[in-house]
Chain A
Amino acid sequence: MSSTQSIEALIDLMARLPGLGPRSARRAVLHLIRKRALLLTPLADVMTEVAQTARECLNCGNVGTADTCDICNDARRANGELCVVEDVADLWAMERSGVFKGRYHVLGGTLSALDSIGPEDLSIPRLVDRVSSEAISEVILALNATVDGQTTAHYIADQLEGRVTVSSLAQGVPIGGELDYLDDGTITAALRARKRV
């Protein structure tokens, strides 16, 4: 057995992480070994703990270390607004903005004819149940402005028709965006959603 076998195994695993390749994984592992007390040992401890405790929130699909996440447990966030996102990464992006004060629902993907992903493969039935069982006044569809994302948004809007107010995020010019660099689809959407100033 090689004396560096476990280190090579660590490099191989690190190289599978998003944004890392074999060379950058090698650099990261070398850095961890050099900062063993400061980084490697605490990282290993935290990773062990997360591996044992991380789970999906049974209510919204967010990732946490308990059966229900902090957002679902926070009574102040039960303001009647429910934001539907495709993925946990989108939930985290919304939370970073700090603007939304309601609760979330993670779909776990979007409808896709190509990949044969139907409504039953997503948490849409659970969403419909939540709208019925929780005091939800508005469902905000924060789905990607892609064909699959908007197909899913329309499908959900159909499912919730007549039960609750359904809205979706606006589409248009991003903050700091220059018209000259925008694709024609975004400009079309922005022009259609123009507002009086």
Chain B
Amino acid sequence: MEWRDQGILLAVRRHGETSAIIEVFTPSHGVHAGVVRGGTSRKIAPILQPGAQLDVAWRARLDEHIGAFTVEPVRSRAAVVMGDRLALAGLNAVAGLLTFCLAEREAHPALYRRTEALLDLLDAMDLWPLAYLRWELALLEEMGFGLDLSACAVTGARVGLAYVSPRSGRAVTEAAAGIWADRLLPLPSVLLGQGDGDDAEVLTGLGTTGYFLEHRVAPELGHHPLPAARARFVELFARLRGS
């Protein structure tokens, strides 16, 4: 068995004294693990940092084997983010959520393209949180829990949408919410693709997407807690930019 693809490095684990087991997100093969021989060497270890864009070739005798990767660097993103704590936290959140949510060897080409574009934006941190919020919406969609924000679930109205139902993931207008408003999740206009997407709205939006990740996606995957990296990114974003 053999294939070659480009991918985003999500995780690295030391394997024995000289090798590493990596997880790469590729467009055609999804999240795929494999051994990199000599992966802890001085030559290869700097390449194997989460977020790196790699050209990978995977080879194994049988498809169900973990197999071995040979890797070529395409571009490193670690150096861009190392000096910026919010960018670093963002990179960790993306890698953590992808590892947490996606089943191994299941292709998600659309999500891959969005992820690559998102990571390429890491040196533009004024725009990045908004792009990250939209990426989380795409991740929810890919996991089968996409939010339907096109019309009110109660009245069918397309204007005045102000809430999201935590049960159905559908939008609800202010008027239809009535006395149940405090049980609904806020729907900032940034989630509707409106407004200038200021940081406070992005933060509110992350609260809403976070709810569905935690209460819909995570239980579906076996009630694991969400990766701490996401909570750290949101907390840091709130602290640095929330006001």
CB-CB under 8 A from A18, the residues of chain B are: 17
Q: Which of B63-86 contact A (CB under 8 A)?
A: 73, 75-76, 78-83, 85
- Contacting chain A: which of B91-99, B161-169, B204-212? B91-99
Provide the B86-124 mask, 1 if CB < 8 A to any CB of A, else 0: 001101100110010000000000000000000000000
**Given that A147-B50, A151-B88 are contacting pairs, would A192 and B75 also be in contact in the complex, using a CB cutoff of 8 Å?**
no
Query: B229 near A: Cβ within 8 Å?
Result: yes
B82 lies within 8 A of A184 (CB): no
A183 lies within 8 A of B76 (CB): yes
Query: A171 near B: Cβ within 8 Å?
Result: yes
- Bin the interface of chain B by size: 20 to 34
Of the candidates B11, B82, B95, the one whose C-beta lies within 8 Å of that of A150 is B82
Q: Which of A32-47 contact B (CB under 8 A)?
A: none
Give the nearest-CB partner of A146 in chain B: B49
**Given that A113-B95, A113-B227, A114-B96 are contacting pairs, would A188 and B89 also be in contact in the complex, using a CB cutoff of 8 Å?**
no
A147 lies within 8 A of B96 (CB): no
A150 lies within 8 A of B88 (CB): yes
Of the candidates B75, B79, B92, B232, the one whose C-beta lies within 8 Å of that of A189 is B79
Query: A31 near B: Cβ within 8 Å?
Result: no
* A108 nearest CB across to chain B (Å): 16
Among A19, A150, A155, A186, chain B packs the most CB atoms within 10 A around the CB of: A150
B76 lies within 8 A of A151 (CB): no
CA distance A133 to B57 in the complex (A): 53
**Given that A151-B88, A151-B89 are contacting pairs, would A118 and B228 also be in contact in the complex, using a CB cutoff of 8 Å?**
yes
Give the nearest-CB partner of A154 in chain B: B85
A-B contacts besides A183-B47, A184-B73, 18 pairs, CB < 8 Å: A113-B95, A113-B96, A113-B228, A114-B11, A114-B13, A145-B82, A146-B78, A147-B81, A147-B92, A150-B82, A151-B88, A158-B85, A158-B236, A171-B82, A183-B76, A184-B76, A186-B46, A189-B83
B interface vs A, CB < 8 Å? 11, 13, 17, 46-47, 49-51, 73, 75-76, 78-83, 85, 88-89, 91-92, 95-96, 99, 227-229, 232, 236
